[in-house]
Amino acid sequence: MCSARVSPHFIIRAFQEGADGVLVAGCHIGDCHYLKGNYIAIKRVAILRDLIDFLGISKERLLLEWIAGSEGDKYARVADEFTEKVRSLGPSPIKRIPFREKAVAMVR
Amino acid sequence: MEALKNKVNELLESGGIAGFLGLRNFGSEPFPFLFTRDTAAEVEKITTGAVRYPLSKILIRIAAVYPDAIFGIMCRACDERAIIELFKNTKLRSDKVITIGISCTDDLVQACKCENPQPSNLVSGEAGKKEFDRSDVQKIASMTLEQRFDFWTEQLGKCIKCYGCRNICPVCFCDVCTLEDQPLVKRGEIPPELPSFHLTRAYHMAGRCVDCGLCEEACPVDIPLRTLYRRVRESVKELLDYLPGEERDKVPPIQVLGDGLFEIRD
Amino acid sequence: MFGSGAMTNSIAELEDSKCIFIIGSNTSEAHPLIANRILRAKAKGAKIIVADPRKIHIAFYADIHVRQNLGTDVALLNGIMNIIISKGWQAREYIEARTENYAVLQESVANYPPEKVSEITGVSVQDLNAIAEAYAKAPSASIVYAMGITQHTTGVDNVKSLANLAMLCGRVGAESCGVNPLRGQNNGQGACDMGALPNVYSGYQRVDDEEVGKKFDAAWGAQLSRKPGLTLMDMMHAIEEGQVRALYIMGENPVVSDPNRAHVESVLKKVEFLVVQDIFMTETAQYAQVILPGVSFAEKDGTFTNTERRVQRVRKAIEPVGNARPDWQIICSLSDMIGYPMNYNEAGEIQDEIKSVTPSYGGITYARLDGDGLQWPCPTSEHPGTKFLHKERFTRGRGLFSAIAFKPPAEASDNEFPLMLTTGRNFVHYHTGTLTRQSRSLDDEQKEGYAEINPLDAHKYGISKRDRIKVVSRRGAIEIKPEITGRVPEGILFIPFHFAEAAANALTIDALDPVAKIPEYKVCAVRIEKVA
Amino acid sequence: MYYECIPTTCTYCGCGCSVVLQVLDGHLVGVLPGKTNPVNEGSLCIKGWTSHEFVYREKRLKNPLVKKDGVFFETGWEEALDTVAGKLKKIKEESGADSIAALASAKCTNEENYLMQKLMRAAIGTNNIDHCARL
């Protein structure tokens, strides 16, 4: 799937569902089958990173990386590093929002 | 005010416009009204008022019914910024709209923290001073991540999901609204899912928001929405070098940022 | 009580109150534009107290939120007053100067020590103390309540207890204070003000008062009955007994809005002649012999009176849809044909007549309503309207304390019906949904009814969110989608009453408050079953 | 070509917010919040913002209906009002005014509620008038 197909809404949804971090991986610049898909992705992710950071969700929880289909080792390395990074950031603050429907704290 | 009345009468009489969308005193209060040749007597009640209604958004609706007519519209600087974006997004046609600029009172400029209260084609009043005040954005940006998160959770948590921010927004012109997209945004409860409802709307303001502040005025629970969208506006300027409403000749980056065009829904 | 039934203070005043005590009002969902004033008050430093069994939206912004057991408001309020008196926080001078019967109150609340109240209500002694202190000690304090207080067999007792509390602390007749009922419907206040009640003419003038009777005899040119008529619930019983043969319903949907739906339906089937005037084919209209199509608010002129007594204009914006006619014109035509001509050319002329016979509306004309409207009492054409009531004196003279004893709700849970049900509104819909469920955006937002159930109860009954459940009471049963949420405490179910096909009021009990005849919508016993 | 805004009062809850009805060529096309009203000061809730939506629904009753053999038939105003007035007069003659009762409405205007009680009290002759505001 083209990285331009990763709608910002999907990323927002992932965070809402409790993801501690979101990694978007796309083809290298210049390699786009659709010519400019990854240019679109880079701008979208950049704007969204700014925005979540302003809302208090670290921008480091959202990562865009270029990984070609043949770069299995890079994929593994990036995934490992990102996992470590996110682990160091701790759980997403979205999980501690008091309005969440099933918050156990609300149960009397 | 006399200058405005004269201008409207002149345009109506000459046939230069089919109608002028502005504010009319209804009893003691101003409300939007379309002055036409048939209702020329009402021009006497024209007012610039101290209130702002989303005139450009109203004009989209009227122009959709009368696509060939030319309309005049009362334009504060914020209205004009919106109209520039509406031209670019083909919601209004630049050859069918004549803007009649009016100035805002100093009080209104202050209250709006308007960064550019100077419309072109000024017919009534004097242009206000430019005052660029981003202290609201800076105040939040200077907090720690955790403080910011708590601040926004408290603010956005007040939301009673009236959709007023969207409904009044002059640049919210999509036929299908993502905020009503059930799988993406859960419906039927208040506050709406935090923060995704407002995050989604804020993202959609990228490349569109003209910083008019009508959203914040319409918010029944005083959420500082404008501050949120101002930050988005700044990001777009920094990253894409585009300032909505201020750049008549640049192509808007809206498709890059993603509107309906890039969504696949199921 | 103080002698009049309306919000004592104004909506805008809430913003400057230093303590707001919200009880029995889901303000952000049912009265959103009043909730914003409360949130603003909080931003200005007010203490917010919420007493509601559910974790409602505004409770997240409360400094103190207590979840009292259903139907224990009198005990809760007596307990708070007990603490205030025992600590000496009551407003002694105010009590002396403006009220009577204080000794009686003192004696009765002495029977409600905090420990006992905590036992009855499930609210901790610590929270009781905190509420008492916050309310009694703030420079100004407002009470806000709604149907969560009135829709009980002890509804009048609940209201009187709130009045007791407010007077005890000198909170009536002062700015940003008062006892403030939030009316559920746009013109509930106006319908009462206009005398759509069996015992009073417009402006609460009693039909059994000979003076008043003579005045209206003369004004209307008719010999009027001095005998109070039947209340809605009495009408239902009179129909069953064959004493009432004809019923004319204008713009109401009792099949969905009244308790014990099966009973209402049987009554409407039984009545010999039913006329319904409405804008949609409601569940009630189905039973009519004749249906008269009225118009919506956008198609007629008139006035509404909001919950803060503000009379405001309703203006015709469009022509009636189809052959529908403005409701006031229908009544006029009917009256003409019955042999009592009503000659009004426009709605404003009716207001002119209202003004002439109704002292509290005596200064209200359409011309004066331009802009902000006017808050009654507005007795003369120079009077600016009244922001808050009882400033110098109460309507009845001195404020009257009353001794109120706690009585449990009409129905308690038992082995057969182990859960308690309470009802209310959802932010999207309104009342019986006649209008809101016909609005595309609102229908899209919330299409069907649901029953909120605590996760512990869901676990206990093996219910997951994909199941459907059957809720059964002694009156009826409905099938509904469960919503598993901590908003409701364990043992309590909440169902919004907007949805006719999963009607909460098929379950609710028609036990009434003995004085106000309000049904106990807010408490009844139910059981649940998983639908296979 | 005619567009105007008519300020009026919201038909939903008891807050009494000012809603501004947008009328384009005789059709209700939308709602704006009244910016200058002391109750809502330029805001509305979700119901207020959509308070125009039900007005043109297909299901609106457009003609009087009379039930014959359990089925509703559309009819003219004269016939419908004749039926109602005739029947009410007959019942009043046979069983007295107190055998007739009416429910006014917390949704209708003050003027309509006033007239409804006047109809029952002066034209019919009974105080059997109530409404559902308790509910």
Residue B263 has pLDDT above 70, yes or no: no
8 Å CB contact of C486 and A99: no
* C212 contacts C206 by C-beta, under 8 angstroms: yes
Question: Which pTM does this prediction carry?
Answer: 0.91
SS3 label, residue C53: coil
The residue among C105, C117, C168, C169 whose CA lies nearest residue C141 is C169
Give the separation between CA B45 and CA B5, rounded to whole angstroms: 9
User: Where residue C153 falls among pLDDT bands split at 50, 70, 90?
Assistant: confident
8 Å CB contact of C248 and D101: yes
Is domain C230-293 given the CATH code 3.20.20.150 in the classification? Answer: no
8 Å CB contact of B62 and D24: yes
Range name among C207-211, C410-414, D15-19 with the lowest pLDDT average: C410-414
**Chain A touched by B191 (CB under 8 Å):** yes
Q: Which tokens in the block code for residue D119?
A: 């109809």
8 Å CB contact of D35 and B58: no
pLDDT tens, position by position, C226-277 = 999 999 889 999 999 999 999 999 998 888 888 778 888 999 999 999 999 9
Residue B158 has pLDDT above 90, yes or no: yes
Q: Which residues of C507-521 are buried (b: 16+ CB within 10 A; e: fewer)?
A: bbbbbbbeebbbbbb
* Residues found in chain B: 266
C315 → chain B, closest CA residue:
B26
Give the separation between CA C185 and CA A23, rounded to whole angstroms: 50
Helices (H) and strands (E) counted in chain D, each on its own, are 3, 7
Q: Which of B96, B124, B152 is the last residue of a domain?
A: B124
Residues B24, B70, single domain; the answer is yes
pLDDT of residue B256: 66
**Chain A touched by B189 (CB under 8 Å):** yes
Residue B236 lies in a domain: yes
Range name among B31-35, B207-211, D2-6 with the lowest pLDDT average: B207-211
8 Å CB contact of B160 and C32: yes
Mean pLDDT, rounded, for C502-516: 84
8 Å CB contact of B263 and A43: no
The enclosing H or E element of C275 equals: strand C273-278
Q: How far is CA C135 from the centre of its chain?
A: 23
Q: How far is CA B126 from CA B1, B119, B120, C407, in A?
A: 12, 10, 11, 69
Q: For CATH 2.40.40.20, list the domain ranges present in chain C.
A: 419-530
Residue D41 lies in a domain: yes
End-to-end distance of chain C based on CA atoms, in angstroms? Answer: 52
User: Where residue B260 falls among pLDDT bands split at 50, 70, 90?
Assistant: very low
Residues B247, B141, single domain; the answer is yes
Q: Which of the two residues, C261 and C157, has the higher pLDDT score?
A: C157
The distance of A104 to chain C (nearest Cα, Å) reads 7
Residues B101, B152, single domain; the answer is no
Residue D91 lies in a domain: yes
Domain that holds residue B33: 2-124
Neighbours of C29 (CB within 10 A): 24
Residues D89, D114, single domain; the answer is no
Q: How far is CA D84 from CA B102, C246, C250, D131, in A?
A: 58, 10, 13, 20
Query: Phi and psi at residue B25, in whole multiples of 5°?
Result: -75, 120
Domain that holds residue D120: 97-135
Task: Judge if the upstream peptide bond of residue B191 is cis by omega within 30 degrees of 0.
Answer: yes
CATH architecture of C11-182: 3-Layer(aba) Sandwich (3.40)
Residue B129 lies in a domain: no
Q: How far is CA C149 from the centre of its chain?
A: 8
Pick the CATH number of C184-227+294-380 from 3.40.50.300, 3.40.50.20, 3.40.50.740, 3.40.640.10: 3.40.50.740
- Residues contacting C248, CB < 8 A, separation 6+: C275, C277, D84, D88, D100, D101, D102, D103
* Chains A and D, touching by 3 or more CB pairs within 8 angstroms: no
Residues D70, D107, single domain; the answer is no
Pick the CATH number of C419-530 from 3.40.50.1220, 3.20.20.70, 3.40.470.10, 2.40.40.20: 2.40.40.20
Nearest to B163 among D6, D7, D46 (CB): D46
8 Å CB contact of D117 and C232: no
Tell the residue number behind the tokens 């417009």, with chain if given. Answer: C202
Taking CB atoms and an 8 Å cutoff, what residues of chain B touch A94? 194-195
Residue D54 lies in a domain: no
Give the DSSP letter of residue D19: E
Total domains present in chain D: 3
Residue B264 has pLDDT above 50, yes or no: no
D100 → chain C, closest CA residue:
C246
8 Å CB contact of B62 and D5: no
Residue D111 has pLDDT above 50, yes or no: yes
Residues B255, B139, single domain; the answer is yes
Q: For CATH 3.40.50.740, list the domain ranges present in chain C.
A: 184-227+294-380
SS3 label, residue C246: strand
The distance of C511 to chain B (nearest Cα, Å) reads 31
Q: Which tokens in the block code for residue C531?
A: 């639908």
Residue D71 lies in a domain: yes
SS3 label, residue D2: coil
pLDDT tens, position by position, B65-124 = 999 999 999 999 899 999 999 998 889 999 999 999 988 888 888 888 787 788 887 777
Q: For CATH 3.40.228.10, list the domain ranges present in chain C.
A: 11-182, 230-293
pLDDT tens, position by position, C361-413 = 999 999 999 989 999 999 999 999 998 888 877 777 888 999 999 999 888 88
Total domains present in chain B: 2
Query: Please, what is the angle between helix C327-338 and helix D110-118, to 10°?
Result: 10
Tell me which residues of chain D, numbers 40 to 59, contact chain B at a CB-CB cutoff of 8 Å. Answer: 40, 42-46, 48-49
Domain that holds residue A53: 3-106
8 Å CB contact of D27 and C517: no
- Residues contacting B195, CB < 8 A, separation 6+: A16, A55, A57, A94, A97, B152, B153, B156
**Chain B touched by A40 (CB under 8 Å):** yes
Taking CB atoms and an 8 Å cutoff, what residues of chain C touch D130? 196-198, 229-232, 235
B25 → chain D, closest CA residue:
D5
Q: Which residues of C184-223 are buried (b: 16+ CB within 10 A; e: fewer)?
A: bbbbbbbbbbbbbbbbbbbbbbebeeeebbeebeeebeee
Residue B52 has pLDDT above 60, yes or no: yes
Total domains present in chain A: 1
What is the DSSP track for A3-18? Answer: GGGS-HHHHHHHHHTT
Q: Which of B70, B89, B124 is the last residue of a domain?
A: B124
Note the ipTM here. Answer: 0.91
Residues D105, D135, single domain; the answer is yes
**Chain B touched by A19 (CB under 8 Å):** no
Q: Which of B124, B150, B171 is the last residue of a domain?
A: B124
The residue among B168, B183, B228 whose CA lies nearest residue B202 is B228
Residue B100 lies in a domain: yes
Residues D13, D44, single domain; the answer is yes
* Chains C and D, touching by 3 or more CB pairs within 8 angstroms: yes
SS3 label, residue B10: helix
Which chains are within 8 Å of D by 3+ CB pairs? B, C
Q: Which tokens in the block code for residue B238?
A: 């920094």
pLDDT of residue A102: 39
8 Å CB contact of D33 and B164: yes
